[in-house]
Amino acid sequence: MRLRRLLLPGVVAAALLAPGPAGARHASPKPPRLARLTASDGLFPAFSPDVHDYVVRCASAPVRFTTSVAAGTTSLIDGRAAHTASVPLSPGRSATITGASPLGATVYHVRCLPPDFPQWTVTGHGTPGEWYIATPSLSLGASASSYAVVFDSNGVPVWWLRDPDGPPIDATLLPGRTPTIAYATWAAPAGAFQVRRLDGTLVRDIVSPDGAIDVHELQVASNGDDVFLVYAPKTDVDLTPYGGPADGTVLEGEIEETNAAGKLVWSWSTDGHVGLDESTRWLSSIVGTPVELVDGSEGFDFFHANAVSVDGGAMLLSLRQTDGVYAIDRATGDVLWKLGGTPTADSLTVVGDPDGAAPLGGQHDVRVLPDGTITLFDDGTFLGRPPRAVRYRIDPVARTATLLEQITDPTVTSSACCGSARRLANGDWLVSWGGDPVVGEYAPDGTPVFRLTFDGLFSYRVEPVAASGLTADELRAGMDALAAR
């Protein structure tokens, strides 16, 4: 970790600059660390010398810090040599607490949380160096929240952004040298994904050439194109065979791909490719609960596209209301295969899955891994079983989908919507349990190693980001800039 130059009192500075003992050059001793750190407003997590980021709620101001150190180490609180000191803090701002000696310095960062920041609890520890981007914004009976958050593997929110327009959803780190995070909000009047730097600066809005896009998904193709979903109304559809009106409006699911100039370069629609009868299991809720459109009219959400993944010459599309995942040939638009849902000529045979007769129930978050296998969050909605994270190997020649892994959490028994399942480089799983307040990391055998549990809220997805893609210094600098506004 790169350390900023410290402005220290003269005596301490001289000690730091003085040469160490003759043997120190060869022993390479570690820099000094604090032995203890407490805060008057309650430090989270409890202090550990190896944990460098903390938060406090700042119920009172200023915050009083108390430290203890080993002999030969100086304690500095916001740059002042002291074992006890009070620091004025406001939401977003941080204090630095340092242990310094002739061998170097170790810095700890304590940041003040806003009063309306979501409540959460933590058990265990995640993969060291991994970041977890979450939007604990959707309500489970409590008031919705307006935060996109980056948590570290200790469950500490190191960066956050509050959107005043409404609950953010599907926050994701975009590729590029300068870190940018994109997210949509439920209340966005223009139907756009906002792309912001970590300091909160708006870089651009991502919209469809035809107007609003859907909030469920944003992906970036290998060539830098944006890939997203659009719900397109198709009017005057005879829905009487399904218990609906003779002149109903169906919300077709569309995938659109736009280049850097915002020009549409590829698109595909469920219209003509996916039949309304593929939503048989969901018909009562589809017809019984029409969707209110922007113009005040009603539409029927037969497909509910919620995830797309770019797979070379194919696109994978998840349609919640058909319980199906579809592989689409980008050259021809044909459906190459279908996993789950009502059987069609394109359906794969499911192998090795105890739930193979109905492998998916309102699934989300389809993703393609580098080895060609696919992962999904299977909500299991209305199937009388708990949700699960699954991984399949697809054999398009043999027309099979073989279950390779599945993960469940004994504390999560059902899922009505939403969710994500990502397999980490070390084989662990990171799962947001769809409509449940739990985000967890699990060993390959399903053993829970880390859980974030939100109070009355859930995160639509959670995205893992390796340390190589985002640094603590970048996140801290972004928060400093946000707090200064």
Indicate the burial class of 404 (C-beta count within 10 angstroms; 0-12, 13-18, 19 or more).
middle
Phi, psi at 95, each rounded to 5°: -115, 150
The position carrying tokens 């997203």 is: 228
Q: Which of 366, 284, 283 is nearest to 319 (CA)?
A: 366
Judged by DSSP in three states, 239 sits in: coil
Gap between the Cα atoms of 169 and 176, Å rounded: 21
Beta bridge partners of 308: 317
The position carrying tokens 């985000």 is: 439
Gap between the Cα atoms of 141 and 329, Å rounded: 42
Average the pLDDT over 177-184 and give the result: 94
User: pLDDT tens digits, residue range 274-326?
Assistant: 999 999 999 999 999 999 988 889 999 999 999 999 988 999 999 999 999 99
* Domain 10-112: CATH architecture, name and number where available: Sandwich (2.60)
359 in Cβ contact with 348 (< 8 Å): no
Tally Cβ neighbours within 10 Å of residue 298.
13
- Please give the DSSP secondary-structure letter assigned to residue 20: -
β-pair type (180-185, 168-174): antiparallel
Angle CA 421–424–425, to nearest 5: 155
Phi, psi at 343, each rounded to 5°: -60, 135
Gap between the Cα atoms of 356 and 13, Å rounded: 68
User: pLDDT tens digits, residue range 454-485?
Assistant: 999 999 999 999 988 999 999 999 999 999 98
Gap between the Cα atoms of 71 and 95, Å rounded: 23
- Asked if pLDDT for residue 211 goes beyond 70, the answer is yes
Superfamily of domain 120-483: YVTN repeat-like/Quinoprotein amine dehydrogenase (2.130.10.10)
For residue 16, name the pLDDT band (cuts at 50, 70, 90): very low
Average the pLDDT over 7-32 and give the result: 44
- Residue 318's H or E segment, with its range, is strand 314-319
Average the pLDDT over 209-232 and give the result: 92
From edge to edge, which strands make up the β-sheet containing 400-407?
Answer: 349-351, 400-407, 388-395, 374-378, 364-368
pLDDT at 31: 73
For residue 117, name the pLDDT band (cuts at 50, 70, 90): very high
What percentage of the chain has pLDDT greater than the value 70? 93
Gap between the Cα atoms of 51 and 299, Å rounded: 51
437 in Cβ contact with 452 (< 8 Å): no
| Residue ranges covered by each domain of the chain | 10-112, 120-483
Angle CA 134–135–141, to nearest 5: 130
The position carrying tokens 């190589």 is: 468
User: pLDDT tens digits, residue range 39-74?
Assistant: 998 999 999 999 999 999 987 779 999 999 988 899
The position carrying tokens 């009063």 is: 115
Indicate the burial class of 143 (C-beta count within 10 angstroms; 0-12, 13-18, 19 or more).
exposed
337 in Cβ contact with 327 (< 8 Å): yes
Concatenated DSSP letters for 141-191? SS----EEEEE-TTS-EEEEEE-TTS-EEEEEEESSSS-EEEEEETT-TT-
251-281: b (≥16 Cβ within 10 Å) or e:
bbbbbbbbeeeeeeebbbbbeebbebebbeb
Average the pLDDT over 406-434 and give the result: 96
User: pLDDT tens digits, residue range 424-436?
Assistant: 999 999 999 999 9
